Structure 1
Amino acid sequence: MTSNERHQFGFRLAQEMGLKELFAVDWNDNVDGVPDLGVWAEENTSSIFDDVIEKGKQLTLEYEDYFKNHTIKEYLLLLNDKENVKSNHEVYIKLALMGTQSNPADLCG
């Protein structure tokens, strides 16, 4: 068993809930036809990408600080709060705006 969140949290919670099956998803692989935005951003100037990266860093620090001083339940409630979900969706919408008409990021492959 590893020490990542799937085992430390997910499997324990599934056991406590009496689940007979659990489908853990922790996926970050590359997919053919889907561009690597980091590579695209290195080859192209994108203030949108820079803004998204900065927002991600800020959110990570805020979430880490919150987690240090709250219970797991409070943390999960924060992550699933309507405004936080909306904020996370906005990040993906901004990524879809990357590029220009003459040089789009081609997020659809």
Structure 2
Amino acid sequence: MIHLTAPELAARIINGPQPAETTQTADVYALAGTLWTCITGTWPLDYEIAGIGSDAPAEEKRKAIAHRAIPLSDVLPWPSLQARLRHVLLAAPDDRPSAPELTVLVKAADA
């Protein structure tokens, strides 16, 4: 799903080699994005602010994701948790937590 594709994975899909294989860090990005979507009911990336319409081709969205040209949404119904997810979504692959570390971050968010 393009909306949950990590920037580095989007770049590999565009530039090769093919097939582009996912990584654990890209999977953690997708997990954080999925949690964001469950909390807000919207994708974590704000395509509208970036000037990318919902009808834009997938390739255009993928290129923007690969270049980190789409800001995160500012819809914040659960700020304490979303601050932790924001960190994961903005982090470089080597700086992202593992899935178990993300679990700890999520549990630490106040209700």
Larger Rg: 1
Tell me if both proteins adopt one fold, taking TM over 0.5 as the criterion.
no
TM-score where L is the length of structure 2: 0.30
